[in-house]
Amino acid sequence: MAVILASQSPRRRELLERMGISQFQVRPARGEEVMDPSLSPEQLVEALSRQKAAEVAAGAAPEDIVIAADTVVSVDGRVLGKPRDREDAEKMLSALSGREHTVYTGLTVRRGDEAVTEYEATAVRFRPLTAQEISNYVATGEPMDKAGAYGIQGYGCLLVEGISGDYFNVVGLPVCRLGRILARFGVDSLALAAGKEGKP
């Protein structure tokens, strides 16, 4: 049995290792993400994570466990994915300035035909930002591959006034929820971290 992370995100790889799962493969899903505007943010991230898991599982062994996640930011009912360019990133950050928004991550764990999909939601509050601060942050390049155009674990920490909920969800992988789901598949993260038998 292998554990497969269906993501090329270095942040998700690091969080999986911090959970005690050091032996896993990285096989990013290659399919195009379709942002269905008729879906709520939680429905959208669940659908996208299911899609990624199904794609990667199709090329995996039946006993392999596939972990897939997708994260978006929602403000005023509008879903923000990754910015298209610098101007788009600046618009996103302007919309978040001085406001509270919600970060949603859909999570699917799949083995063969068995799959569990859930989502996590975390409220994040930004301090008011000046146009120069937004420009400077975008110039770091950090926002360009992140939902909502910021990374809380990087320079984006300077923008965040507070959060309510799972911090790791904002990074991109709700590890507490993932640990509970993996346990249903017989993977005990704490046992692995302790060096005991917990699969894989």
User: Distance between CA 25 and CA 7 in Å, rounded?
Assistant: 10
Q: Model's pTM, two decimal places?
A: 0.91
> What residue has token string 């009912």?
77
Tell me phi and psi for residue 137, to 5 degrees.
-65, -45
Instruction: For residues 148-169, give the mean pLDDT.
Output: 97
pLDDT digits (tens, 9 = 90+) for 55-101: 999 999 999 999 999 999 999 889 998 999 999 999 999 999 999 99
CA-nearest of 79, 67, 74, 145 to 107 is 67
Domain 3-193: give its CATH architecture.
Answer: Alpha-Beta Complex (3.90)
For the chain, what are the domain ranges?
Answer: 3-193
Our answer to whether residue 188 is catalytic in this structure is: no
Catalytic residue among 70, 85, 113, 188: 70
**Confidence band, pLDDT 50/70/90 cuts, at residue 197:** low
SS3 for 194?
coil
User: Distance between CA 169 and CA 95 in Å, rounded?
Assistant: 21
What pLDDT was estimated at residue 30?
86
Instruction: For residues 178-199, give the mean pLDDT.
Output: 86
The chain-wide mean pLDDT, for the chain, equals: 93
Instruction: For residues 131-142, give the mean pLDDT.
Output: 97
**Confidence band, pLDDT 50/70/90 cuts, at residue 40:** very high
Instruction: For residues 47-61, give the mean pLDDT.
Output: 95
The answer to whether the CB of 102 falls within 8 A of the CB of 122 is yes
Beta bridge partners of 110: 66, 115
Residue 199 has pLDDT above 90, yes or no: no
pLDDT digits (tens, 9 = 90+) for 106-115: 999 999 999 9
User: Distance between CA 82 and CA 145 in Å, rounded?
Assistant: 6
Pairing of strands 65-75, 78-80: antiparallel
